[in-house]
Amino acid sequence: MKTVCGFLVIVFAFLLVSVHAEAQDSGTGTTLQPSKTTLTSGEQQYLLTLARKTLTHYLSGKPIQELVKTKLSPALIEKRGCFVTLEKKGNLRGCIGYIQPVKSLCECVMENAVHAATQDPRFPEVNFDELKAITIEISALTVPEPLEIKNRKTFLQVLVPGRDGVILSNGWKKSTFLPQVWEHFADKESFLNALCEKGGMPRGCWEDEGTEILTYRAEVFKEDDY
C-alpha cells in the first residue's frame, strides 16, 4: 500500500518504508525532547562511513564489502529498524527504511542506503557523479511497542514530542511519523490528526479504541554532525 500525504510517503510492503518530512515553517510552540542516545559517537561515524562506502561501491559497479561481524560492537550487530535519508544541497534526494528489527543495524544501514538511492519512487536513481553532493542521515530505531494507557484520554499526557515516533493502525490502514517530524507541528493533536489523514483514516482516529497505537524512538545523526 502506498500513501502520499503532506509530510510522508510510506510503502508498507515487506516492512519497506519510504519516508520524508517536507520542509515547512518550524516556528512552532512544540517543545522537543530528544531520544536518549545509545550509540557512541564512534559507532555513529562508523555507520555513516559504512553507508557512504556501500553507496560508492554499488553505484560504481563494484562488489559491496562483506561485514565481519566478529569485529563489530554489540550495538552495531543488534537487530534494529532504521531509515537512511539522502539530501542534496539541503533537499531530499531519497529516504527509505523499515521500522521492525529484521536485520542487524549494520545490514539495515547498508541495505537502505542502496534502497534510498535507487528505490524511492519519488526520484530518479542517484548516479555515481552525484555522491559528492549528497549528505547521508541515519535514523536508528527502537522496537515499536504498544502504548500503555488506560484510556485514550490519557494518551496525550504520555506522548512526548520529539522523542516518540508513532504508528497508527486500523484494519489494513497504517501510518507513521518519525520523531523528527514533530518539529513541523504546533501541538500533539495536529500531529496525530495529520498522521490519521496520511494513513487514509479520519481525523481523530487516534481517539478510536479500535485504532492500535505503537510508539518508538530514533537516534538521528548525519554526516554534517561530524
* Residue 107 CA from chain centroid, whole number: 15
Is the residue at 9 inside a domain? no
In the chain, the percentage of residues whose pLDDT exceeds 70 is 84
Asked if residue 17 has pLDDT above 50, the reply is no
The string of pLDDT tens digits covering residues 166-180 is 999 999 999 999 898
Q: Examine the domain organization and report whether 151 and 105 are in the same domain.
A: no
Is the residue at 17 inside a domain? no
Is the residue at 1 inside a domain? no
Place of cell 542502496: 114
Total count of domains within the chain: 2
- CB-based contact 118:131 (threshold 8 Å): no
Instruction: Sort 155 into a burial class: Cβ within 10 Å, 0-12 / 13-18 / 19+.
Output: middle
The string of pLDDT tens digits covering residues 45-72 is 999 999 999 999 999 999 888 888 888 9
Domain range for 47 is 41-142+219-225
The string of pLDDT tens digits covering residues 136-171 is 999 999 999 987 777 887 889 899 999 999 999 999
Q: Examine the domain organization and report whether 95 and 50 are in the same domain.
A: yes
Is the residue at 134 inside a domain? yes
Report the CATH number at residue 155: 3.30.1490.150
In this prediction, residues 114-119 reach a mean pLDDT of: 96
- The CA distance from 166 to 46, in Å, is 28
Within 10 angstroms of residue 102's Cβ, the number of other Cβ atoms is 14
- The CA distance from 82 to 112, in Å, is 8
- The CA distance from 63 to 4, in Å, is 34
In this prediction, residues 113-128 reach a mean pLDDT of: 95
Asked if residue 10 has pLDDT above 50, the reply is no
Q: How confident is the model at residue 29 (pLDDT cuts 50, 70, 90)?
A: very low
Asked if residue 8 has pLDDT above 60, the reply is no
Q: Examine the domain organization and report whether 183 and 116 are in the same domain.
A: no
Q: How confident is the model at residue 13 (pLDDT cuts 50, 70, 90)?
A: very low
